[in-house]
Chain A
Amino acid sequence: MSKLFLQRMLLIIGVVGLGVVLVDLVISIAATFPGTTPARVDHVTAGPYHLTVSLYTNPANAGYALAFAVAPTQAVDGSLTYQTSSLPGQGVDATPIRATFHTDPNVRNGIQGAAEITVKGPWTLQVTVDGAAGQGVANIPITAVALPPIPVWLGWTIGFVPFYVLCVFFVMQLSRNKKPEQTGTEHMPVPKIKGDTLTV
């Protein structure tokens, strides 16, 4: 294989890699925005409040944000304040995460937000509401799915890619530097000292 061919292969791999990163970035950003139609709508009770919780992906995609919207089912006196979190279920190796949200401009006392689901498995979207009638909590069970798993050995093989490249680089460098006249018994040239700079 010629050097040019190898370099072109490397270039193609680089362009594909860059493409993957950009596509993933676009998907990650897009996942935080609610779509036009919710994939799942739950009617839940949080203490004295009846809420409609809309999830825009169902099941949720682990590793990406889950866009959601919360709105009171009936008109409520005064204003409501919310706190939302995604809580990992039993057996899920993850930590609770506070969800980000903002006021829904089209729905009074409604919010839109994105909950992070980091690991596949059962999760709960917890919505805590405070209002004139007191505080209430609603738990919405969520299932998060991930892409098909890659084998652990394949993950390690890919993870060491930089070291393969580094090894090839060093081998090329060593073979370039190797000179037949080097015997290992040559003496280091004595440097000339000029200020704080040594020149060999």
Chain B
Amino acid sequence: MAQHIVGRTDALSPSPSHAPSLHAVLVLRLTGGLVALLGAIISFVGTSWDIQWHTLIGRDRTLIPPHEMMLAGITIGGIAALTIIITETIWARRYPHMAQQFTPFAGLFSGPLGAYIVGYAALNSAVAFPLDTYWHTLYGIDVTLWAPFHIMIISGMALMAFGAVYILASVAHIAARLEARKAERSAYLGMIGAFAASLSLFTLLVAEGSGPDRSVMLGFASISLFPVLAALLLGCMLGGAAYALPWKWVATSVVGVSFLFVLIDQLVVPPALTWLMQIEQLTFRAGHANPPPVSLVAFVWPLLSLVSAVLIDLCMQRARQQGWSKRRLFISIALAVLVGSIPVSIEAPQAALDLASSLGVLGTLLSLIIGGVGSVVGTTLGRSVGETIGTLER
């Protein structure tokens, strides 16, 4: 394979002829990005296991196996980011002509933008763990994801996957420049996986908002936060993926992969819980005796995100074929995103109707209007993410 030396190749010491090739940068980032993605997926399965554990058994010690799995995922992501940053910092210092390939940070480090995101996101989750333990020592074993440090842990893990998208995007563009088609394809596939992992982890938080007990009282009406949160998330992630990747059916692939993660949950989590209960000789909490062998996460997973994704992809294809204006495409995607903000799950196929009846006409209308605003903001962010990722090389 041809070796592409970056920048000038004259008169720098150590000799630029010994400088790592652009291909080496590509391999490092591709490996690091995929490892960070693996960390995020491990974290997702660990979190699903933890949700099952907390709901059915209760919270006991800090280092239970589901927590260890989550921490393992976070550690893997953090180490991947650190490895990329340290290696590229060494390269940038040793071979200054390579510096243009890297994003500098604090005047000390060099690396791809995504690696900084992954590193900080992993650190954020790691810091949130002892804070969560502290919070539990004060306020007990609240079985809800909407607790301050649960949000901090899960959003950190989701941002880890989001950072992996940026790392892999830089790989895809470097690979395109080098005409390394396999690496380019791997990077794009990795980006779809990373978008899906980020979407899945954020969905854990968003799905919690679909219950009527999560409504916000405004005095004159109650509103549900699910539509606005789901619209923000889907607009940002699916919109971002659809704008960034030059493939057909990107948004559908992202949601499809996230459904695959949920299927893995369904296959892994219930037997893992049973196995661990036997080992640790635990019993179910009162009111949860003999639960069905299903993953609680899979049971409440919002299903209409798939419809939303298919609509987004159809819009993108129409826009490309018929030369839609950017405005028309934007509005179509925002409307498609809004479809996914209606709560429907296996547990409650009629969740939207239940929610509407509990909110009343005014509350439902207000929730949909706020959801519409979320859809516009989410799609704007998604387009911005897509535009940045579409050209990102460092």
Query: Which A residues form the contact surface with B (CB < 8 A)?
Result: 4, 7-8, 10-11, 14, 17-18, 20-21, 24, 28, 62-63, 65, 92-95, 97-98, 116, 118-120, 144, 146-147, 149-150, 155-156, 158-163, 165-166, 169-170, 173-174, 176-177, 182, 184-191, 196-200
Contact = CB atoms under 8 A, between A and B. Distances in A.
B131 A158 contact: yes
Contacts of A10: 106, 120
- The prevalent SS among residues of A at the interface is mixed
A159 B246 contact: no
Contacts of B319: 188
Interface in B85-142: 105-108, 117, 119-121, 123-124, 126-131, 133-142
B280 interface: yes
A65 B384 CA distance: 47
Contact of B136 (A21, A63, A161): A63
Nearest to B131: A158
B247 interface: yes
Interface centre among A7, A156, A159, A174 (most CB of B within 10 A): A159
Contacts of A18: 123, 126
B152 A162 contact: yes
B254 to A, nearest CB: 16
Contact of A116 (B60, B128, B138): B60
A77 B381 CA distance: 74
Nearest to B60: A97
B165 to A, nearest CB: 13
Interface string B50-73: 000000011111110000000000
A119 B130 contact: no
Contacts of B177: none
Nearest to B188: A197
6 closest pairs, A vs B, by CB? A93-B140, A159-B148, A95-B58, A62-B137, A116-B61, A7-B106
B285 A95 contact: yes
B300 interface: no
Given A63-B133, A190-B321, A198-B247, A176 B152 contact: no
A17 B326 CA distance: 43
Contact of B141 (A119, A150, A166): A119
B327 interface: yes
A185 B155 contact: no
A10 B156 CA distance: 16
Contacts of A177: 384, 387-388
Given A93-B140, A94-B59, A163-B155, A173 B384 contact: yes
Nearest to A5: B106
B149 A155 contact: yes
Nearest to A17: B127
A94 to B, nearest CB: 6
A64 B242 CA distance: 46
Nearest to B107: A4
Nearest to B280: A98
B187 to A, nearest CB: 13
B97 to A, nearest CB: 22
B323 interface: yes
Nearest to B389: A173
Contact of A146 (B117, B127, B129, B138): B138
Given A95-B59, A188-B320, A196-B247, A120 B123 contact: no
Contacts of A155: 135, 148-149
